[in-house]
Chain A
Amino acid sequence: MALSHMATSSSSSRSNLLKPLTAVLSCTLPHRRTISSDSTTTLTIETSVPFTAHKIDEPSRSVETTPKELLTFFRHMALMRRMEIAADSLYKAKLIRGFCHLYDGQEAVAVGMEAAITKKDAIITAYRDHCTFLGRGGTLLEIFAELMGRQAGCSRGKGGSMHFYKKEFGFYGGHGIVGAQVPLGCGLAFAQKYSKDEAVTFALYGDGAANQGQLFEALNISALWDLPAILVCENNHYGMGTAEWRAAKSPSYYKRGDYVPGLKVDGMDALAVKQACKFAKEYALKNGPIILEMDTYRYHGHSMSDPGSTYRTRDEISGVRQERDPIERIRKLILFHDLATEKELKDTEKEVRKEVDEAIAKAKESPMPDPHELFTNIYVKDSGLEVFGPDRKELRYALP
Chain B
Amino acid sequence: MAGSVSGSRRIMGRLLKCGYGYGNGFLRQFSTSSSDGKSLNLYTAINQALHIAMESDPRAYIFGEDVGFGGVFRCTTGLADRFGKNRVFNTPLCEQGIVGFAIGLAAMGNRAIAEIQFADYIFPAFDQIVNEAAKFRYRSGNQFNCGGLTIRAPYGAVGHGGHYHSQSPEAFFCHVPGLKVVIPRSPKEAKGLLLSSIRDPNPVVFFEPKWLYRLSVEEVPEHDYMLPLSEAEVIREGNDITLVGWGAQLSIMEQACLDAEKDGISCELIDLKTLIPWDKETVEASVRKTGRLLISHEAPVTGGFGAEISASIVERCFLRLEAPVARICGLDTPFPLVFEPFYLPTKNKILDAIKSTVNY
Report which A residues bind B (CB closer than 8 A): 1-3, 5-6, 94, 97-99, 149, 157-163, 176-179, 208-209, 211-214, 239-242, 246-248, 305-306, 310-311, 368-369, 371, 373-375, 378, 383, 385, 387, 391-393, 395
Interface residue? B193 (CB, 8 A): no
> Which residues from chain B contact A176 at a C-beta distance below 8 Å?
120, 163-164
> Which residues from chain B contact A242 at a C-beta distance below 8 Å?
65-66, 68-69, 90, 92
Measured CA separation A383–B334 after assembly (Å):
11
> Which residues from chain B contact A149 at a C-beta distance below 8 Å?
337-338
Quick check: B81 and A2 within 8 Å, CB to CB? yes
Q: Which of A208, A242, A369, A395 has the most CB of B within 10 A?
A: A242
Quick check: A212 and B93 within 8 Å, CB to CB? yes
Nearest chain A CB to B107 CB, angstrom units: 20
How many pairs, one residue from A and one from B, have CB atoms within 8 Å of each other in the complex? 135
Quick check: B331 and A385 within 8 Å, CB to CB? yes
The answer to whether A97 and B162 touch (CB under 8 A), given A239-B92, A246-B90, is: yes
The answer to whether A371 and B124 touch (CB under 8 A), given A2-B70, A391-B349, is: no
The answer to whether A240 and B332 touch (CB under 8 A), given A212-B124, A373-B339, is: no
Interface residue? B161 (CB, 8 A): yes
> Which residues from chain A contact B352 at a C-beta distance below 8 Å?
391, 393
Interface residue? B342 (CB, 8 A): yes
The answer to whether A98 and B70 touch (CB under 8 A), given A177-B121, A213-B97, is: no
Nearest chain A CB to B324 CB, angstrom units: 14
> Which residues from chain B contact A393 at a C-beta distance below 8 Å?
348-349, 352-353
Which of B9-17, B72-80, B184-192, B252-260 touches A? B72-80
Interface residue? B109 (CB, 8 A): no
Instruction: With CB as the reference atom, state the residue of chain A lying closest to B20.
Output: A305
> Which residues from chain B contact A374 at a C-beta distance below 8 Å?
331, 333, 336, 339, 342-343
Quick check: B72 and A305 within 8 Å, CB to CB? yes
The answer to whether A391 and B346 touch (CB under 8 A), given A157-B338, A375-B333, is: yes
Contacting residue for B164 out of A177, A378, A395, CB 8 A: A177
List B residues 321-337 near A (Cβ within 8 Å): 331-334, 336-337
Interface residue? B311 (CB, 8 A): no
Quick check: B162 and A98 within 8 Å, CB to CB? yes
Contacting residue for B338 out of A2, A163, A369, A392, CB 8 A: A369
Measured CA separation A344–B302 after assembly (Å):
60
Quick check: B78 and A2 within 8 Å, CB to CB? yes
Nearest chain B CB to A241 CB, angstrom units: 5
> Which residues from chain A contact B163 at a C-beta distance below 8 Å?
159-160, 162-163, 176
